[in-house]
Structure 1
Amino acid sequence: MPVDFESYYPTNLPDEGTNGREILEFLAANPETGYRPSELTAELGIPRGSVGTTLSRLHERGLVRHKGEYWAINPEAYDARTASLVGLAAVAEQFEGDYYDENPDWDADLPDIDGAGGDEQ
């Protein structure tokens, strides 16, 4: 799929809706806590075999770290841009189905307060 080259910024993040993204978002929400794969399975409902493989892939990308059997977000790799992408996704999920989500043209009748609308006197 072609992209606008100037506005395209590749990301190291797993795609939305994947096990990797779900694990990463969970660990990012709990940055000081380490979890065993079995605990992530219980918390997220992802099969145990998938959790282990996904954690290894996230580790290869430098997004998570581990000590022994415990895994946590890697704060050095989890920069502000990455945090904001995940944060925006979490906010969008939180408000999914609200009035503004259900009515994409909610702003169509708002007044033009910056004067750029051509209603000059």
Structure 2
Amino acid sequence: MPIDIETFESSSEDRLQHSGETNADRVMRFLAAHPDQAFTQSEIRDATDVNAGSISVVLSRLEDRGLIRHKGNYWALGEGDEVAAYASIVESTRAANDRFGEEDMDEWLEHAVDDEDPE
């Protein structure tokens, strides 16, 4: 996911190292956004920017956990209760972002409690 140049310039390297979103999160978010479709591994890889060397392992692990399904060359969102809960959270987040705008990490950090500050 791209960031604006101001965030790039003003953020520390540590902050930009890891967004907290895993490859599995990216795949699940993508498939949850398209619950009525199935995709090839390369389509999922291209849509999620997961490294070509990692996508197969990510898909296999998600399938082992019952979160996605696989048939032939295609992969789709799973059908279990965990998947329904995940899809519901994704849809709720999308609706909230559409209505109120996406969260601004810098704004959150301004108001975050610093556990190391002995007050």
In terms of fraction of residues, the more helix-rich structure is: 2
- Name the residue aligned to 1:63: 67
- Name the residue aligned to 1:28: 32
Runs (4+) of structure 1 exceeding 2 A deviation are 81-92, 101-105
- Name the residue aligned to 2:51: 47
Say which of 99, 102, 111 aligns to 2:107: 102
2:80 paired with 1:73: no
TM-score, with normalisation over the residues of structure 2? 0.60
1:51-81 CA distances to partner (integer Å, 9 max, x unpaired)? 11000000000000011010000123412x3
Q: Provide the alpha-carbon RMSD of the alignment.
A: 2.9
- Aligned-pair identity in percent equals 36
Whichever of the two has the greater Rg, that structure is 1
Q: Give the unaligned 5+ runs of structure 1.
A: 1-15, 106-121
TM-score, with normalisation over the residues of structure 1? 0.59
* Counterpart contact for 1:37–1:48, Cα < 8 Å: no
* Counterpart contact for 1:23–1:40, Cα < 8 Å: yes
State the number of aligned residues.
87
